[in-house]
Structure formats: structure tokens, C-alpha cells
């Protein structure tokens, strides 16, 4: 029944048999109960319960079903589609649940749910049911258009690399039912009629007018065999100038008139179909078996899928033509502030988590000598003092040594020169103590980095003097210890400051060079339309490359330590939290893997902000944790990189694939460098979502288990959970623990039998990361 609705009709039917027919409009079929086999001119679809199939405009089909099946059919009219969607005549929707590619399951589930809601709303007839029906139908159409649309053309078999010819043929296909002539096409494509005639015949092996008649005849055959339209109507609807020309060309091709051909070839079949009226349909819907299945449709859906406008892209990988190379893994330095922070159980537990998941090598600290770690000596009459000034330091160092962690010590110029003699005396005493207690071999793994920022009034000669004194003091005790210096470097000027040129221009001993790279440095966040956001995309890698070229110019080729870096984050705590940037972090880490010896992170927001003075938020580094054990995006992004094993066999700007002893791994990233202020503008961000169709050739045939992990703003982003559970009256440990435990990337599991090319889809929100572990199964 259609309730006098002209845009679409909704029917609950029992279908035993349907004679061949030409579909008008779009039909979306959902089998609720039983079985239904639909045959089109291209394939057979044996549908069972839960299966969804879309039959397109002008598609031939017939059906056979079980006696007790229950089928919901939504038919959307051609008139409505032509009014609402101008590309409708040139499109088809390849949507069926029988052979859906991996990654499309959530979309099929969404269509099932919408169809179930559509049916329930239609038969309940509540006050606003007509508005609800319009909403459900519109959402179904948006999914079909944005996720399942393909170009509809009967001339796709034409194989030509000639772009102009392709455009001409495409135009003829789309407008075959209009008054097309050789002259009008020639004028449209800026050609003379004579040239177009010769050009078309040479390329296609058939004259222009004959080809056009062939296109029109091909379309008319469906009308002739599967409708009851008159011959004159068919001729007019398919672009023939008159009935006589249609009959003449038809007889030339088929050797008989259209009327005779129809009589001899039109198959006679009787439909066996029952469309339930309103009362019967209500009775069926309320039956236990149908209610149970409708309930499953309404609940079996992926709420994370959003039916928003999105970019469509293709990624094709051929593993038969690859160049293999290893995965480089720089050391990771984790900054915690002063060494005494290790006295806190929370800090130690965070370090051990990061050690396990992120492969930590070094703990970065500041103010080793001039800070508050050492205990002030007290007067005593003991011959050997029982209270050591290094009691706290020893507790921290014991912890580090047990867990195979070394120190990366930043030494500031001011720290030394506030009392130079006292500093070096204390440094030498402490180093000797550590040699006695922990052994020289442990200290050989330590790094000391001399630091003075770019804005300084200290002369280069004075900086050089202090650095060399530090270098000689440390090397005299532990010759293999690593001593380097921080080099301020301007991205735009491509050089260091005048006060630091001695580091590259003079023959100064250096074991490594430290530097910083922060995309926020080149952005003015008050200018929302600033073109510099596009410059930020490759800023970190480009600054690293520029620095390498600069030091090579002076004959130096030293290992680089990226002590602090950051992607775009905004300049407020709000934008820093709401702007999800997982893929940006991972992309930069992948790009730097071959360029640096080590890279640094901050342990958590609390320690990071303590390091600054009179600033509410710091943006020069990436934190692994928030104020509690909640993991920030950096943690999970780097964890994905550490999960990557084996040999890299394919890599691009937004993907990397490896092969290992268990099979393959693939990382996909939807990378977007935009103003973080847009993170509060959901409509804008949704347009940056991406639907990627991945096709991989050359995977070894066999059975595989696919483990798919998704990390995006809804699955793993700490701030999203924090915002959802926000309260003006505060949060207790229960809420915080829940946020921490549930802010994790999602995990999905699929079984796949791969033989030949393997295709699947990934729907990715802004800066999302999708990690596929493609494990070979051994049965």
C-alpha cells in the first residue's frame, strides 16, 4: 500500500514469483523472513534473511521466493529522484549484502536499521510519521549516493585513452533521448562537422549517426520487451526523431518489425505476489518472529558510522612489484622534569606503561645538579655519614637501571653559571658516585645536552667556553658518554643565531645536535584563513632537511636529536584537546624515522606545564598522558608505529604496509592540516572525512584473520570522553577511571579467504588511523 504517496511507496509483501520486468525508480529490498532469489540481466542474488539489495532504474529483474517469506520493498520514484538529484540518470547504486566488501558492513547495517524504522513508523502512523518517513528515505538515499554510487553507462565497454572521444561518447550516452545531431555535438566540442565525422569514424570504426542510433536502440530494447508501452511511445522516449526511423533501423538490425519481435520474445509469466494491507501488515509486524528480527535490525548498527558527505579515494597496491626496506626506529626520550619526579608512583607507572608499549630508551630530565633532587647535606659527627645527599637520586637511578632506561640530561647555561665552580664540583662528585654505584658501562649510555635558547644576550665565545668545560669534565670521567648541544635553527632564514654559529662553524667536539620543530611556530592562530596552515603540512620534515643541509655545509654530519616537536594544536587548552591529530603525529614520526637518532616526548600535561613559567598551556612538545593515566593521542599513534613489524613493502604519504612472518600489516591515515579552531565546527570537519577503497594485488592466497584497529576522535580520543562526561559539579575517581579505561582504539575481527586481488573499504574521519593486522591462518 502507498497511502497516496507519490515520491516513494512502502510495501510488505510475500513474493512467490515475479515475471521479468523493467524496474521503474529505485527499489531497496530487505528480506525480513524466508528466502527470495532475484535474477537480473547480470547476475543471480540468492537472498536470505537480513539481506539487502538495490535494484536500479531501468534494470531488468525477475524473482522467485519461498512461500512464507516476508519482504520489505521501498520504491523511490523516478520523478522524485530526477527532481532531487540531477546525476540520477547517469548513476547506479551497487549495493547488496551478499558480497559486501570489508568496511561496508556498518553502512549496510545502517540501511537495515533505517528500513526497519521506516516500516515501523509507516505502519504505526503516529502524528509525525510522514516527516519521519521523509527523513528515513533521505538518509537511505544519502548513503547510496555517497557510498555505493557508480557511473551508469551502457558504453563502459568502450576502451579508449582519447579523453575528448570519451567526453563525446559520455555526452551522447547521457543525452541519447534528446535531439542530438552531428552539428550540435561538433559545436559543443569546438570542432567542425566534417572533422568530427572523420575523427569519430576513424576512432570508433562506425559513423557518428549509426553509433547514436545503436545507443538509442540498445536503450529501447528494455522498453520493448518489459513494458507495455506503444511502439511510438518507445521511439519518442529513446530519442528517435519519429516512429518510422525507429522501425526502419530496428528492422535493419533484427530483420523483423518491433511488433513481431515483441510478440516472439516477450516471455509470459504470471506474478504470484501478495501485498499485505494495513491490518494484515500490522498483524505480521507484531508477530514474535518478525518482531525479533526487526529488533535485531534496529540494534545491530555501528553508531560510529556517520552518513556525512565525504571524499572518495582509491588506493591500489601491487605487492608483486615492491622494493623492500627495513623499519628504522629512533630512540625515544621521555621528558619528566626533574629526576625527583621518579619518586612518584604515578610517574613510575606511566613510564613502565610507555616502556612496554612504546620502546623507551631514555628519560629526559632538567636541573640535575641545580634542582631539588639532591638532599641538602646536614652536619653530623659520624665518621661515615649515614644520610647521603644522593638518596633520592639513587632511588630514581635504581629504578631506571632495573628497567634498562638511561638518562638524557639537559644542562642550561644559566644552571652552570649561577655558581660555576660549585656546579662543576657537584657534577664531578655525583658522576663519581654513579660510577661507583652503577658502573661506568651504565653511564656510557647517558646523554648530556648543553642548552641555551635562541633569544640570549650571552656571547658565542662565552657559550663555547662553558660547553667545552662541560664536555671535558664529563669525558674525563666517562670517555664514551654522549655530549652534545642544542642548536637553535630558523626555518625561514635556514641558519642558526649569531650566538650559536660556533657550534657549526668552528671545530667543536659534538656527539650529537639537539633541535626543536613545532608546526605551531609558523601559524598565526588569530587568522582563521591563514594560508600558512598549508605550509605546516610538511614543516617538521622540511625543517629537519634544512638543518641537515645547513650543518653539512660546514662539514659536519652529526646525529640529530629532536628534543621537542609538535603538530598543529591550537593555542588554547580547548582547541588543543578538541582537535584530533592522531594521523598528523604518526605521519611525522614515520617521516622522521630515517632522519633522526632520537625524538622526545613529555610524560604528561602536569609535568609539561610545570616546566614553564606563568603560562597556562605549553605547546612545544607532545605529551603521552593527561593529568592522570589517560593516554593522549601521541601515545596511541606511537603505539601503532611500534606495532608495525617486518619489512616495509609499500609506503606513501598516507599509508605504509609491511610483510612479516605472520602475514602483513597496513596503516591508513586520513591526514588533514587545518586550523584547530575548526575542531569545534563539526559540519566543516565532516567534509574532510574520507572513504577509501583499497585494492591489494599480490597477497599470498589463503585464509586470513584480519584485526582492524580504529583510532579517531570517537574511538580512543581522551578529550571526547572527557567532554561527554563533563559536569559542573566535578568528577570523582570512578568517572576518571572510566574515562581512562574506555578511551581506547576499537578492535574489529574479520575472517577473509583471499585469492587474487583483495578489496575493502575504510571510512575515515579527520586525522584517523586505521591499523590492519592481516594474519595468515593455519588450519
pLDDT in tens, 444-453: 999 999 999 9
If asked whether residues 87 and 222 sit together in one domain, one would say: no
Q: Which one is predicted more confidently, 571 or 356?
A: 356
**Cell 537495515 sits at which residue?**
112
Q: Which one is predicted more confidently, 568 or 619?
A: 568
If asked whether residues 107 and 253 sit together in one domain, one would say: no
Q: How far is CA 737 from CA 55, 541, 628, 714, 723, in A?
A: 49, 37, 9, 18, 15
Boundaries of domain holding 254: 163-265
136: domain CATH number? 2.60.120.10
- pLDDT tier at 2, thresholds 50, 70, 90: very low
Residue 455 belongs to some domain of the structure: no
If asked whether residues 128 and 80 sit together in one domain, one would say: yes
Residue 78 belongs to some domain of the structure: yes
pLDDT of 460: 95
If asked whether residues 293 and 316 sit together in one domain, one would say: no
Lowest mean pLDDT across 383-397, 564-578, 635-649: 564-578
Chain centroid, CA 441 distance in Å: 44
If asked whether residues 192 and 110 sit together in one domain, one would say: no
| CB-CB neighbours of 577 under 10 Å | 22
Residue 57 belongs to some domain of the structure: yes
Quick check: 668 and 769 in contact, CB under 8 A?
yes
- pLDDT tier at 158, thresholds 50, 70, 90: very low
If asked whether residues 144 and 172 sit together in one domain, one would say: no
Q: Residue 333: which of 492, 484, 543, 489 has the closest Cα? A: 484
If asked whether residues 303 and 317 sit together in one domain, one would say: no
Number of separate domains in the chain: 3
Please tell me the total number of residues recorded for the chain in this structure: 779
Distance in Å from the first CA to the final CA of the chain: 51
If asked whether residues 711 and 747 sit together in one domain, one would say: yes
Segment 105-122 mean pLDDT: 87
CA–CA separation, 260 vs 266, rounded Å? 10
157 pLDDT higher than 50: no
If asked whether residues 40 and 184 sit together in one domain, one would say: no
For residue 66, report the phi and psi dihedrals to the nearest 5 degrees.
-75, 155
What's the chain's average pLDDT?
85
Q: Are strands 362-366 and 311-318 parallel, antiparallel or unpaired?
A: unpaired
CA–CA separation, 768 vs 690, rounded Å? 9
Residue 600 belongs to some domain of the structure: no
pLDDT of 149: 85
Segment 219-224 mean pLDDT: 80
Residue 522 belongs to some domain of the structure: no
For residue 716, report the phi and psi dihedrals to the nearest 5 degrees.
120, -20
If asked whether residues 317 and 183 sit together in one domain, one would say: no
Residue 488 belongs to some domain of the structure: no
Residue 117 belongs to some domain of the structure: yes
3-class state of residue 272 by DSSP: strand
If asked whether residues 301 and 322 sit together in one domain, one would say: no
CA–CA separation, 621 vs 617, rounded Å? 11
CA–CA separation, 630 vs 641, rounded Å? 19
Q: How far is CA 9 from CA 40, 136, 379, 424, 658, in A?
A: 22, 13, 94, 87, 50
Is the overall model pTM greater than 0.95, yes or no? no
Residue-wise pLDDT tens digits, 723-777: 777 777 777 888 888 888 888 999 999 899 998 889 888 989 889 999 999 999 9
616 pLDDT higher than 50: no
CA–CA separation, 36 vs 14, rounded Å? 10
Amino acid at each position: 500500500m502507498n497511502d497516496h504517496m507519490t515520491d516513494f511507496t512502502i510495501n510488505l509483501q510475500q513474493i512467490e514469483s515475479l515475471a521479468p520486468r523493467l524496474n521503474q525508480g529505485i527499489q531497496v529490498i530487505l528480506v525480513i523472513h524466508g528466502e527470495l532469489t532475484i535474477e537480473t540481466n547480470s547476475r543471480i542474488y540468492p537472498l536470505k534473511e537480513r539481506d539487502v539489495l538495490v535494484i536500479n532504474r531501468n534494470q531488468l529483474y525477475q524473482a522467485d521466493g519461498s512461500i512464507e517469506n516476508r519482504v520489505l520493498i521501498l520504491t523511490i520514484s523516478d520523478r522524485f529522484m530526477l527532481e532531487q538529484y540531477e546525476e540520477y540518470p547517469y548513476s547506479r547504486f551497487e549495493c547488496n549484502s551478499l558480497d559486501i566488501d570489508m568496511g561496508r558492513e556498518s553502512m549496510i547495517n545502517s540501511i537495515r536499521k533505517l528500513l526497519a524504522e521506516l516500516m515501523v513508523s509507516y505502519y504505526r502512523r503516529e502524528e509525525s510519521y510522514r516527516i519521519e518517513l521523509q527523513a528515513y528515505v533521505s538518509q537511505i538515499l544519502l548513503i547510496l549516493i555517497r557510498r555505493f554510487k557508480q557511473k551508469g553507462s551502457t558504453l563502459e565497454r568502450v576502451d579508449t585513452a582519447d579523453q575528448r572521444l570519451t567526453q563525446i561518447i559520455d555526452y551522447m550516452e547521457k543525452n541519447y533521448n534528446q535531439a542530438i545531431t552531428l552539428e550540435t555535438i561538433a559545436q559543443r566540442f569546438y570542432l567542425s562537422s566534417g572533422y568530427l565525422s572523420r575523427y569519430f569514424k576513424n576512432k570508433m570504426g562506425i559513423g557518428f549517426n549509426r553509433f547514436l542510433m545503436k545507443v538509442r536502440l540498445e536503450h529501447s530494447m528494455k522498453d520493448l520487451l518489459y513494458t507495455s508501452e506503444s511502439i511510438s511511445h518507445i521511439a519518442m522516449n529513446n530519442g528517435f526523431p519519429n516512429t518510422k526511423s525507429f522501425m526502419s533501423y530496428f528492422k535493419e538490425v533484427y530483420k523483423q518489425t518491433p511488433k513481431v519481435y515483441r510478440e516472439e520474445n516477450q516471455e509470459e509469466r504470471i506474478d504470484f505476489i501478495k501485498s499485505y494491507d494495513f491490518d494484515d501488515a500490522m498483524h505480521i509486524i507484531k508477530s514474535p518472529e518478525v518482531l525479533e528480527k526487526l529488533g535485531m535490525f534496529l540494534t545491530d548498527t555501528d553508531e560510529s558510522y556517520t552518513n556525512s558527505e565525504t571524499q572518495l579515494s582509491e588506493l591500489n597496491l601491487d605487492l608483486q612489484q615492491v622494493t623492500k626496506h627495513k623499519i628504522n626506529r629512533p630512540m625515544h626520550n621521555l621528558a619528566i622534569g626533574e629526576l625527583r619526579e621518579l619518586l612518584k608512583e604515578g610517574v613510575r607507572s606511566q613510564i613502565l606503561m610507555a616502556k612496554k608499549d612504546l620502546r623507551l630508551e631514555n628519560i629526559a630530565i632538567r636541573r640535575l645538579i641545580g634542582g631539588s633532587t639532591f638532599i641538602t647535606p646536614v652536619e653530623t659527627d659520624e665518621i661515615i655519614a649515614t644520610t647521603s645527599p644522593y638518596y633520592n637520586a639513587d632511588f630514581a637511578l635504581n629504578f631506571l637501571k632495573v628497567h634498562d632506561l638511561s638518562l638524557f640530561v639537559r644542562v642550561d647555561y644559566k644552571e652552570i653559571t649561577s655558581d660555576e665552580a660549585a656546579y662543576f664540583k657537584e657534577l664531578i662528585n655525583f658522576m663519581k658516585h654513579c660510577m661507583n654505584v652503577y658502573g661506568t658501562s651504565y653511564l656510557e649510555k647517558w646523554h648530556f645536552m648543553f642548552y641555551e635558547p635562541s633569544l640570549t644576550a650571552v656571547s658565542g665565545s662565552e657559550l663555547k667556553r662553558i660547553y667545552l668545560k662541560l664536555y671535558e669534565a664529563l669525558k674525563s670521567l666517562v670517555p664514551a658518554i654522549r655530549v652534545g648541544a642544542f642548536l637553535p635553527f630558523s626555518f625561514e632564514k635556514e641558519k642558526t643565531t649569531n650566538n650559536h654559529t660556533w657550534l657549526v662553524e668552528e671545530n667543536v667536539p659534538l656527539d650529537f645536535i639537539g633541535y626543536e620543530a613545532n608546526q605551531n611556530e609558523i601559524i598565526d592562530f588569530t587568522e582563521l584563513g591563514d594560508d600558512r596552515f598549508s605550509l605546516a603540512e610538511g614543516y617538521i620534515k622540511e625543517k629537519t632537511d634544512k638543518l641537515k643541509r645547513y650543518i653539512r655545509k660546514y662539514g659536519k654530519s652529526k646525529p640529530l636529536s629532536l628534543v621537542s616537536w609538535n603538530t598543529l594544536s591550537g593555542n588554547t587548552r580547548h582547541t588543543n584537546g578538541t582537535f584530533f591529530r592522531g594521523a598528523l603525529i604518526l605521519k611525522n614520526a614515520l617521516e622522521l624515522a630515517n632522519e633522526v637518532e632520537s625524538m622526545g616526548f613529555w610524560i604528561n600535561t602536569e609535568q609539561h606545564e610545570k616546566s614553564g613559567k606563568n603560562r597556562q598551556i605549553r605547546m612545544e612538545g607532545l605529551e603521552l598522558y593527561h593529568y592522570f593515566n589517560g593516554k593522549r593521542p601521541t601515545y596511541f599513534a606511537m603505539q601503532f608505529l611500534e606495532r608495525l613489524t617486518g619489512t616495509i613493502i609499500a609506503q606513501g604519504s598516507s599509508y605504509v604496509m609491511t610483510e612479516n612472518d605472520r602475514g602483513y600489516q597496513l596503516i591508513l591515515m586520513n591526514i588533514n592540516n587545518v586550523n584547530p579552531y575548526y575542531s569545534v565546527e563539526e559540519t566543516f570537519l565532516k567534509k574532510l572525512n574520507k572513504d577509501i577503497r583499497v585494492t591489494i594485488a599480490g597477497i599470498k592466497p589463503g585464509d586470513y584473520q584480519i584485526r582492524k584497529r580504529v583510532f579517531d576522535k570517537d574511538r580512543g580520543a581522551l578529550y571526547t570522553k572527557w567532554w561527554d562526561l563533563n559536569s559542573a559539579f566535578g568528577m570523582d575517581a570512578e568517572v576518571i577511571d572510566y574515562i581512562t579505561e574506555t578511551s581506547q582504539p576499537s578492535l574489529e575481527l574479520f575472517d577473509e579467504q583471499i585469492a587474487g586481488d583483495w578489496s575493502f573499504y575504510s571510512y575515515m574521519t579527520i586525522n584517523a588511523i586505521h591499523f590492519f593486522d592481516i594474519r595468515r591462518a593455519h588450519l
